Structure 1
Amino acid sequence: MRYLKVIAQDRSGKGVADTLHVEFYEGDQLQRKATEADRQRLKSFSKTYLKCAWFNSGEGEDRHVRIFSHNPSADGTPETVRLHFHEGPVIAYKAAAHDLDNDGVFELILSSDVDNDGRADRTDRNRVRSLVREFLRVGW
């Protein structure tokens, strides 16, 4: 399984993420870290991700998100994109977007409080939808 691992850090200690690392994995093997060439493709994705407020204090990496897609029909378009919000080895919570009829539109968005504002609401579903859209544009 291929996935993106996204790590945000608050290195300045101001209570907001100021550093973002993106790593490309195949199975448990790191394939590569985002390069300068990737940075332009990841710019919009990064802005969207930072709104989730899932970050580490300092240079920690325990809090991260793994994003991956499933294409059981093998037609090249994903029917599901999943986001696993990790706290170390434990998945703290999950979100997903499902294309129920494989028409390229994600009709069902499942999420909890992905922006950590204390409410699981339409804003969280919109953040998941945006992250999924940006993840698919990255093309991993």
Structure 2
Amino acid sequence: MRFLKVIAQDRSGSGAGDSVRLRFHDSEQDWREANAREVAQLRSFSSTYLKCAWFNTGDEDVRYLRIFALDPGSDGTPESVRLHFHEGDAIAYKAAVHDLDNDGGFEVVLCSDVDNDGHANRTDCNRVTALVKQFIRLGWF
């Protein structure tokens, strides 16, 4: 299964993520890394991800996002995109979007407090939707 692993870090010690690493996985063992500053599309995705406030201090990589799409119809348009926010090997929380009628729009957005502000609200759904749209544009599914 293909997935994108996103690792944000606070290298400056400012209390906010300032660095993002993206690992494009073809499997658990086979991956390539991209620097988020290389391409405008990756920069936009990284900027949106940093708003989720799911980052590590210094050079740690314990916290990360694993995002992947499910395309059971094999038509090149995902019916579901899942976001797993990890703390080590454990999933701390999840989010997902579903395109129920396979028209490219998301009829269902499921999320919790993905920006870690203490409230699960419309802002969280908007962040998840934005991340998913940018992920789909990358074509990594």
Q: TM-score range by the shorter chain?
A: over 0.9
Length, aligned pairs only: 140
| Amino acid paired to 2:85 | F
Corresponding residue for 2:123?
A: 123
Say if 1:51 and 1:134 are closer, same or farther in 2 by CA, change over 3 A: same
Extract structure 1 runs of 4+ deviating beyond 6 A: none
Q: Is the 8 A contact 2:22 2:35 kept in 1?
A: no
Superposed CA deviations along residues 40-85 of structure 1, whole A, max 9, x for unmatched, are 2201101110100000011100000000000011111000000000
Map 1:81-96 onto structure 2 (within 5 A).
81-96=81-96
Superposed CA deviations along residues 3-51 of structure 1, whole A, max 9, x for unmatched, are 0000000011110011110001112023210158953220110111010
Q: Is the 8 A contact 1:23 1:30 kept in 2?
A: no
User: TM-score, normalization: structure 2?
Assistant: 0.95
Corresponding residue for 2:16?
A: 16
CA RMSD of aligned residues (A): 1.3
C-alpha distance in 1, partners of 2:12/2:106? Answer: 37
Q: Is the 8 A contact 2:36 2:42 kept in 1?
A: no
C-alpha distance in 2, partners of 1:111/1:12? Answer: 29
Corresponding residue for 1:31?
A: 31
C-alpha distance in 1, partners of 2:11/2:106? Answer: 35
Share of identical aligned residues, percent?
61
C-alpha distance in 2, partners of 1:139/1:5? Answer: 14
Q: Is the 8 A contact 2:21 2:36 kept in 1?
A: no
- 3-state SS of the aligned residue for 2:30? strand
1:73 paired with 2:73, answer: yes
Q: Is the 8 A contact 2:36 2:43 kept in 1?
A: no
C-alpha distance in 2, partners of 1:137/1:68? Answer: 13
Q: Structure 2: 5+ residue runs without aligned partners?
A: none
Say if 1:92 and 1:133 are closer, same or farther in 2 by CA, change over 3 A: same
C-alpha distance in 1, partners of 2:35/2:43? Answer: 12
- 3-state SS of the aligned residue for 2:44? helix
More displaced stretch, 24-33 vs 116-125: 24-33
User: TM-score, normalization: structure 1?
Assistant: 0.96
| Amino acid paired to 1:124 | D
